[in-house]
A and B are shown apart, each in its own frame.
Chain A
Amino acid sequence: MSWETVIGLEVHLQLATQSKIFSGSSTRFGAEPNTQASAVDLAMPGMLPVLNEQAVRFAVMFGLGIDAEIGRRSVFDRKNYFYPDLPKGYQISQFAEPIVGRGEFEITLEDGSTRSIGITRAHLEEDAGKSLHEDFHGQTGIDLNRAGTPLLEIVSEPDLRSATEAVAYLKALHSLVLYLGISDGNMAEGSMRCDINLSLRPAGSDTLGTRAEIKNVNSFRFVEKAIQFETLRQADILESGGRVVQETRLYDAERDETRPMRSKEVANDYRYFPEPDLLPVVLEESWIAQLRSELPELPPAKRARFVSDYGLSTYDAGVLVDSRALADYFEAVARDCGDAKIAANWVQVELLGQLNREDLDITRSPVPPTQLAGLIRRILDDSISGKIAKQVFEAMWQGEGDADQIIESRGLKQVSDSGKLEAMVDAVIKDSPDQVAQYRAADAGKQKKLIGYFVGQVMKASRGQANPGMVNQLLARKLGDNQQDA
């Protein structure tokens, strides 16, 4: 039987606030254990939460970014369970009335097709602390620095159908939150973590199968692998007539497998109820309107603009808007050099290629946009050929200065002086009597191929600096002239 994979994702996004969602402790990553855990974070008796305005702002910005319904009134609830990294014995979250309601999110797949993924809701909640299982005489150590870090939990509809789609969705989400500036998106530090709900059903069926939840997967690659593994695991079970058990599983990256969590949890009964220490959050229309007006241009709009304003293909525009930093870089180069298409080509091929080889982010590029634009200008004014430009780019990457300095110091300026070129062409013709004879004997079609030899010789003699257009013209004329002479 053929199976359809049905995936819904719950993404936990750490919001880039300075202080925690309900206390004035710092959210900085990497501090010494429990040095950023205040009396509120430690759930000391009598301590009370006060909501961080920036967390609310970021959540609403996300909602506006996916055109979702914004909860004019939203309510915090207590989600009750015991765990040592949860100091209060409950997590403050949102259940019945989240701050962000239903929205839609468009993803672009590698073949250029797009799909719309439903966002069920997004709600604010606090993160838990960390349990460290290294050896403390067989005990677990609890670090509560992370407890109370603001999270936006973004819940998708079960609209995803493959690991590829899931990763495309996550990448698009990642790009969006960086555009909005609401999260640092640092996956290695856990700023974006993902729970995967996955089930299979016979192709063509409308009813959902029994799902397994895979908790806390924290990289695109692991999401892809976990989904691949889990899909096969469930398919094997179903193929052999078994039933998938609804359970929570963990993805073990070292073994590349998912396995059930070992802790025997009593059937969870979170006993959600409205958090009495917090009042309903009510948002003013004017406040929301203000935020809406301040939103940056987001990927879909930017892509459309790159297509219409710069004449780029949808694919190229899609690559360039992948991150706000890359899009900004491209636009800076395009404006500076005046030719968006060449700018797009250079950014995508040379710059991104080099960045990928060295595993650098665009923000860490050793070549700033002004330098790349300077290089492109020299191509446009025929000072250098495209081939030489690549050499210049290499040198710029190594930090040898801007394009003009490199062209100057390395003597790479293209020879466009017709006198010099004519002398070179003449010398080549003179040194290649056999090839000249062959050329002259050939028909027009063959001549076009044979001329390549002469061009190559001239370029070699000029160490690549001869203007190839002029060389072609000169050769065609001179070889033709002699033919006429004969």
Chain B
Amino acid sequence: MSIGSDELSRIAELARLRVDSDELPALTRRLDDILGMVETLQTVDTEGVEPLSNPLDAHQPLRADVVTEGNRRSEFQSIAPAVENGLYLVPKVIE
């Protein structure tokens, strides 16, 4: 299995990572190595095997509908890169 440069660019865009074009060949090779390693998976017969998402056969616990959190805005926003009037700022979002 091999990942093409176009494919890699598409994946990088989905992950919001920037891959410079001069890095593409080396990165593609490395990812191909990894994909080669996981290839053995394709050889195993998993017909009818239920995927396992979580190692314990447990069920989701439910929380009572109670407000337990107060306003910690100033504390939380003291570590934010850009805030104004209590809002987090980002470059203009176009809908």
Cα A338 to Cα B61 in complex, Å, equals 50
Cα A52 to Cα B16 in complex, Å, equals 31
A25 touches B69 (CB 8 A): yes
Cα A80 to Cα B13 in complex, Å, equals 13
Cα A78 to Cα B87 in complex, Å, equals 26
A277-297 vs B, CB cutoff 8 Å, 1 = contact: the mask equals 011111000000000000000
B76 touches A26 (CB 8 A): no
Residues of chain B with a CB closer than 8 A to A133's CB: 92-93
Residues of chain B with a CB closer than 8 A to A19's CB: 65-69
In the assembled complex, A262 has its CB within 8 A of some CB on chain B? yes
A281 to B: closest C-beta gap in Å? 5
Residues of chain B with a CB closer than 8 A to A24's CB: 63, 66-69
Tell me if B's interface is mostly helix, strand, loop or mixed: loop
In the complex, the number of residue pairs spanning A and B with C-beta atoms less than 8 Å apart equals 129
Report the stretch among B22-30, B31-39, B51-59 that lies at the interface. Answer: B51-59
Size category of the binding interface on chain B: 35 or more
Residues of chain B with a CB closer than 8 A to A262's CB: 94-95
User: Which residues from 312 to 333 on chain A have a C-beta closer than 8 Å to any C-beta of chain B?
Assistant: none
Residues of chain B with a CB closer than 8 A to A143's CB: 86-87
Instruction: Select which of A53, A261, A280 is within 8 A of B64 by beta carbon.
Output: A53
Residues of chain B with a CB closer than 8 A to A33's CB: 85-87
B65 touches A18 (CB 8 A): yes
Cα A52 to Cα B64 in complex, Å, equals 6
Q: Which residue of A lies closest to B77 (CB)?
A: A34
B54 touches A279 (CB 8 A): yes
Given known contacts A278-B60, A279-B54, A282-B59, is B69 in contact with A23 (CB within 8 Å)? yes
A37 touches B60 (CB 8 A): no
Residues of chain B with a CB closer than 8 A to A274's CB: 53-54
Cα A216 to Cα B90 in complex, Å, equals 22
Cα A440 to Cα B87 in complex, Å, equals 88
Q: Which residue of B lies closest to A75 (CB)?
A: B53
Cα A136 to Cα B69 in complex, Å, equals 28
B40 to A: closest C-beta gap in Å? 21
* Candidate in B58, B73, B91, B94 with the most chain A CB atoms within 10 angstroms: B73
B62 touches A53 (CB 8 A): yes
User: Which 7 A-B residue pairs are closest in the complex by CB-CB distance?
Assistant: A141-B87, A24-B68, A54-B65, A53-B62, A38-B69, A142-B88, A33-B86
